[in-house]
Amino acid sequence: MKRSTILFVVFAAAALLVGVVVPYLVHRSGSSAVPGWEGLVDPGPISKAHQFIAGSCVSCHTPHVGVDPQKCIACHATTSFGDKQSTRFHVDAKRCASCHVEHDGGVSLSRMDHDALTLAKFWKVPAHAAFRATAKGPPLKAGGMPLPTHPTINGDLARLDCASCHSNRDPHQGLFGSQCSSCHALTTWRISEFRHPATRSTECSQCHLPPPSHNMMHFEMVSQRVAGKRARVEQCYACHTTDAWNNIKGVGWYVHH
């Protein structure tokens, strides 16, 4: 038998071993059934959150299938995603790996990425509730005019219904409506261009509610005595400055409730 023929047979046998036998063993008994196999297919370091299962591929992966969402759910079953408005969208997700990729060196989602909410293919039909899938453009207000959005929000992101995740944390008490994107960007709640009304403004109570202590005897017994004022609760301007609630006029920085 020629040497070239022998080499061909050896290579063919090796290819058969790798292409048939190894997948069969892995499928039947998991990656650890073939010594060294896990090292050959390791896609890279796993995220810090999942370091404790770094040596067990089958904790997340099913051979020849990939990441199994049911395995993710089995570990995170006690996580109350549905109890918190800002994380409730996880309940509608079909595949955790669509957003959470564990072997990319920490590049994938570790914090909220609003772009993911606009990708209907990641969610059950209809698309996630925070995304107005039936809209043809930015959300409309009464009269058919587009609602204003922050200059950094455009395209599909302008169709996000912010209030579906953030309404229960509205510090404006509904006074500014439900279109958060008319003032806020997506990376931070802070508005760099915001300027508080002049300190001489007397309409504080239109936006600000008093703390519970101001509706009890504490207000007369402590708050008014510290400030040296006997103003009504809604007359915030009599004691408070606009740079911080704890900066009391004529007193300075004082935390008393």
Is this prediction's pTM over 0.85?
Answer: no
| Domain residue extents for the chain | 26-84+95-110, 112-194, 204-253
User: Helix (H, G, I), strand (E, B), or coil: what is residue 89?
Assistant: helix
Residue predicted with more confidence, 178 or 214? 214
Mean pLDDT, to the nearest integer, of 75-90?
Answer: 79
Mean pLDDT, to the nearest integer, of 31-42?
Answer: 62
Mean pLDDT, to the nearest integer, of 41-61?
Answer: 80
Percentage, residues of the chain above pLDDT 90: 0
- For the cut 70, the answer to whether the pLDDT of residue 257 exceeds it is no
CA angle 231, 235, 241 (to 5 degrees): 105
Mean pLDDT, to the nearest integer, of 92-97?
Answer: 77
Q: Let me know: does 166 contact 130? Beta carbons within 8 Å.
A: no
CA distance 119 to 165: 17
Neighbours of 36 (CB within 10 A): 6
Question: How high does pLDDT run on average in the chain?
Answer: 75
Pairing of strands 252-253, 247-248: antiparallel
The confidence score (pLDDT) of residue 144 equals 55
The confidence score (pLDDT) of residue 91 equals 76
Q: Let me know: does 201 contact 237? Beta carbons within 8 Å.
A: yes
- For the cut 80, the answer to whether the pLDDT of residue 128 exceeds it is no
24 pLDDT tier (thresholds 50, 70, 90): low
Residue predicted with more confidence, 74 or 124? 74
Mean pLDDT, to the nearest integer, of 121-141?
Answer: 47
- For the cut 80, the answer to whether the pLDDT of residue 233 exceeds it is yes
- For the cut 50, the answer to whether the pLDDT of residue 134 exceeds it is no
CA distance 11 to 41: 21
Q: What does 28-94 look like in DSSP terms, one character per residue?
A: HH-GGGSTTHHHHH--SPPPGGGGGGTT-GGGTEETTTEE-HHHHHHHHTTS-GGGSGGGGGGGGBS
The confidence score (pLDDT) of residue 32 equals 62
The confidence score (pLDDT) of residue 68 equals 86
Contacts with 120 (C-beta within 8 Å, 6 or more apart), sequence order: 126, 127, 128, 131, 133
Mean pLDDT, to the nearest integer, of 36-53?
Answer: 74
Percentage, residues of the chain above pLDDT 70: 74
